[in-house]
Amino acid sequence: MSPWLVLCSAVFGAAAAAFVPRVAHRLAVPRGTPARAACARCDTPFTDWVRAGAACSCAGAPVWTVVAGALAAGLLGAAIGPAPLLLVVLPATVLGVLLAVIDIWCLRLPDRVVAALAGVTVPPLAVAALLAGEPGRLGRAAVAAGLSAAAYGIIALLPGHGLGLGDVKLATVLGFVLGFAGWPATAAGLLAPHLINGPVALALLASRRAGRRTALPFGPALLAGALLGLSI
Ligand SMILES: [Zn+2]
């Protein structure tokens, strides 16, 4: 493990995550609604998407978003090391933080952000596998994506599970990345979200921040599970 690589990854993650709040605030809208054109709290019109720091001058500094970006990217830098996979997962981490923030705010994983995550991961990893003369790795990634889609698709069909189609789509993309990394990463990435979400739901219930019927976002657990899978 190179301390410089970890530091550079963490700094990249923190710097890129600083741009997440404005985009997240604009995209955290109900399904079928256009992106927010003004601040939901103070109605200040939004003229741009690219803004580092708070989503709006009325909001506080995005400390947790930046910390999450730094931790996730630093962990991946430490676990993956100087490999092509790191160049692919670092930009993906920023989209992951964006998806997690939007899901926490409005219980949605917008298709266009999940599609962007697929766009920055699937083609580069496919090319990397073929260039390295490892087509088997590409096959494993595709099988893992299919397994992930099937497993989460079945859970989403069960009554009272709380999983949406957005979760299934995200799990499919994450399954591809985990499959590229290997079967142990895939298994951990598939199982960990359930182990993460259970205690979080219990903690929210115990602190009365959520009731029995409160819908909880599953995207953050899926992303944290994938992070864990890639880090083992
Ligand atoms: Zn505002």
- Centre of ligand 1 to C-alpha 74, Å, is 31
Confidence at 26, pLDDT banded by 50, 70, 90: very high
Helix (H) or strand (E) holding 87: helix 84-106
Q: Say if CB 99 and CB 114 are below 8 A apart.
A: yes
Distance 33 CA to ligand 1 centre (A): 19
Calculate how far, in angstroms, residue 97's C-alpha sits from the geometric centre of ligand 1. Answer: 21
In angstroms, what is the span from residue 43 Cα to ligand 1's centroid? 6
In this prediction, residues 75-93 reach a mean pLDDT of 94
| Confidence class for position 200, pLDDT limits 50, 70, 90 | confident
pLDDT band at 216 (very low <50, low <70, confident <90, very high): confident
Mean pLDDT of the chain: 93
Please list, residue by residue across 93-118, b when 16 or more beta carbons sit within 10 angstroms of its beta carbon and e when fewer do: bbbbbbbbbbbeebbbbbeebbebbb
